[in-house]
Copies of this chain bind each other. A is one copy, B any other.
C-alpha cells in the first residue's frame, strides 16, 4: 500500500486557510487528513463510495489525479466497478468570465439545492495555467456557505496535464461522485479558454453567467461559447442595477433569436438573478427542470449521454496517440526545426508534416 504522494500539492492552498469554518466538517480538509494514511483496495474504495463516504471518495479522486501508474490502474478499477451506479445526476456546466460572480453564484445555487435536500458536487476543469484567472480554486473562500455543508463535495481542477487529461479526470470524477450519491454535479470553467467544449461534452445543461451591459463585460468570453448555452443568466440584478440587467437580458434574448436552433430542440432561455442576494435562483432551477423534462421526453437526454460516452472513448484514444507522437524526444526536436522552416515559408506545411511522420513510422 502506497502513500499518496501527489496529495501534498494541496496542502498550501488558501482553501485551507480561508474563512471556512469549522474546518472539521470541510470534506476537502477531511480528505487531506485521511490521504496521509495508506491506500485501500479497489473493493474497499467501491464499498466506501457506494456508502457515500466522502473520505473514500476524496481519496479515490486523488488516485484519478495521480500521475503514478499504479494509482491510475487502481482508480480505473474503482471506476469500472462503480460505473453501474453512476449516471443518476443532473450535470450542469457553469461558465462565465472572472468578475461575473461565478463563485458567489455557485454558493447561491448550491444553497438553493441544499434546501431541497440535494447532494451537490462542485468540480472544475481548468488546467492550472488558467486557474489563476478566476477558477474555483482561488475563489473557494467565496463559497462560504457551501463550504460548511456536509452534502456538498467541492473539488478543484487537477493542476497537472493537458486540458484533455484534466477533462478526462474531471469526467471520471463525475462517475465517482454519482456513485457516491451526489444527485447534482456542477462543472465550472472560467470561460476564457478551450475548456468549454470539454465541459459541454460532459454535462447535460450548459449555463452561461453574464453581467449586464454589452461592453467590457463581454471582452473575456471566448467566441462561440454563447452558442453553446442552454441558458444565459445575468447576474447582479439587484438594487439600482435591475433595469440594466433586464435590458441586457432583452438584448441577449434578441441575439439568441438570431442563432440557429440547438441540437436538442430546446430554446435557450435568459434569466436575471442576484447571486449575492439570492434573488431569482428558483427561476433558474425551474428553467433547468424544464429543460430536463423536455429532453427526457424527447429522448435527447439519453441520446446525448450516449454520444458523450462515445465521444470520450474516441477523445481518450486521440489524446493518447497524439501524446505517443508528440512526447517522443526525437520527434519533438524535429518538429521544432520543421516548424521554423514552415514559419519562414521555406517548407510547405504538408512536406514538413510528411518528413516528421516518416521518421516516426520508420523507427
A321 within 8 A of B: yes
Inside 8 A of A227's CB, which chain B residues have their CB? 223-224, 226-227
Closest to A227 in B: B223
- Asked whether A223 and B350 contact (CB < 8 A) given A342-B313, A343-B306, the answer is no
Nearest Cβ in chain B — how far from A319, in angstroms? 8
A228 to B222, CA, bound (A): 12
Number of interface residues, chain A, beta carbon within 8 A: 64
The B-contacting residues of A in range 52-107, CB under 8 angstroms, are: 76, 79-80, 83-84, 87
A87 to B76, CA, bound (A): 50
Please determine whether A321 and B222 come into contact, CB atoms closer than 8 angstroms: no
Inside 8 A of A339's CB, which chain B residues have their CB? 310, 313
A339 to B321, CA, bound (A): 18
Nearest Cβ in chain B — how far from A255, in angstroms? 5
A75 to B339, CA, bound (A): 21
Please determine whether B261 and A258 come into contact, CB atoms closer than 8 angstroms: no
Could you give 17 example pairs across A and B, Cβ below 8 Å? Answer: A83-B348, A214-B257, A218-B259, A223-B259, A223-B260, A254-B254, A254-B255, A306-B343, A309-B343, A309-B349, A312-B350, A313-B338, A316-B349, A317-B325, A317-B356, A321-B325, A324-B361
- Give the interface of A toward B (CB within 8 A): 76, 79-80, 83-84, 87, 168, 171-172, 175, 214, 218-224, 226-228, 251-252, 254-255, 257-262, 306, 309-318, 320-322, 324-325, 338-339, 342-343, 345, 347-354, 356-357, 360-361
